[in-house]
Amino acid sequence: MIKKYLWMVVFCASLLLSSTINAENSPVKGIYLTQYTLENTSLLNYLIKRAKSAGIGTFIVDLEAPTKRYSNNIKLLQQANIRYVARIIMFPNGGTPEKINNPTIWQKKYALVQQAVNWGAKEIQLDYIRFNTKQKPSSENARKIFDIIAWYKDKLANQNIPLQIDVFGITSFGESKYIGQNIKLFSHSVDAICPMVYPSHYVPFPEHFQHPYETVYNSLKHIKKQFGDPMPMKVYAYIELSNYHYPMSHAKTMDYIKAQIRAVHEAGADGWYAWSPHNRYDNLFSLLENNR
């Protein structure tokens, strides 16, 4: 009887360990939320319910100003076992040299980072961590951005909080000397890169609109070519749920989303984050629910 009991304990423990490992190795699936959406309790509850049904386990949530409603509603994510990643906008529309060289701004944004960590953020994602597009091209631009990233990484590493960085999709193919983004350089101080591989952002626009799979797949493969195996960081690709250049029928929209998701998977990325500026995710939810 004792041997039978011990065997059952070992068997159950092995199942639990296996499910944990599989969960950790599963591709990440996430959606982006504005702070306004996060603070709309009824809408948030709806998104949580649909996300859970669709197999989405991560919400990337803006934090622009701490509020009591924000704090309370983050608890709803935690109760639903949704992973909370806080998105912090560093330099809206890209920084000027004066702003990027100003440590006071870094510290001000870090106060938001620390607040998010205190509220349970599992990771921090920095967006608009770049110069604006009006700068003269220079590799010095990326080195200055890297200094800021390293400053944040040092503070977060002491708290065991991973750091993610959003980058333009074009940087998949190499350094962008105008905006100061260099994935290879940044890899020394980040845990994950989030390339915004939106087909709507690549020229020529008509070609990439017609070939969303190829656009996403080629971008992610070129990131890997910058490093080879193994990759020094995770890659979570931002995909888009519509293309603002062109209207699409419902069927075309669903195919557009499906192509991007398939490209992320087949390129071997670690997962994807879906971007809808107005947080409209019903098409995505339906697509995933029908394919579970």
Total domains in the fold of the chain: 1
- What is the pLDDT at residue 252? 97
Whether 20 maps to a domain, the answer reads no
Mean pLDDT over residues 113-123, rounded? 98
* Residue 82 CA: distances (Å) to CA of 8, 40, 50, 195, 284: 31, 17, 12, 22, 17
Whether 38 maps to a domain, the answer reads yes
Residue-wise pLDDT for 173-202, tens only, equals 999 999 999 999 999 999 999 999 999 999
Range of the domain at 182: 28-289
CATH assignment at residue 232: 3.20.20.80
Give residue 55's region: left, alpha or beta (phi > 0; psi -120 to 50): left
Whether 3 maps to a domain, the answer reads no
Whether 152 maps to a domain, the answer reads yes
CB 65 within 8 A of CB 102: no
- What is the pLDDT at residue 183? 97
- Count of other CB atoms within 10 angstroms of residue 103: 11
Whether 11 maps to a domain, the answer reads no
Q: Is 171 exposed, middle or buried (0-12, 13-18, 19+ CB in 10 A)?
A: buried
Whether 165 maps to a domain, the answer reads yes
Residue-wise pLDDT for 51-79, tens only, equals 999 999 999 999 999 999 999 999 999 99
- Amino acid code (one letter) for 35: Q
Whether 19 maps to a domain, the answer reads no
Whether 22 maps to a domain, the answer reads no
CB 88 within 8 A of CB 60: no
- What is the pLDDT at residue 16? 44
CB 99 within 8 A of CB 91: yes
Q: Is 228 exposed, middle or buried (0-12, 13-18, 19+ CB in 10 A)?
A: exposed
Q: How confident is the model at residue 26 (pLDDT cuts 50, 70, 90)?
A: confident
Residue-wise pLDDT for 195-242, tens only, equals 999 999 999 999 999 999 999 999 999 999 999 889 999 999 999 999
Match 């944990």 to its residue by tokens: 20
pLDDT over 90 at 27, yes or no:
yes
Q: Which sign does the torsion angle of CA 60, 63, 69, 74 carry?
A: positive
CA atoms within 13 A on the CB side of 67: 12
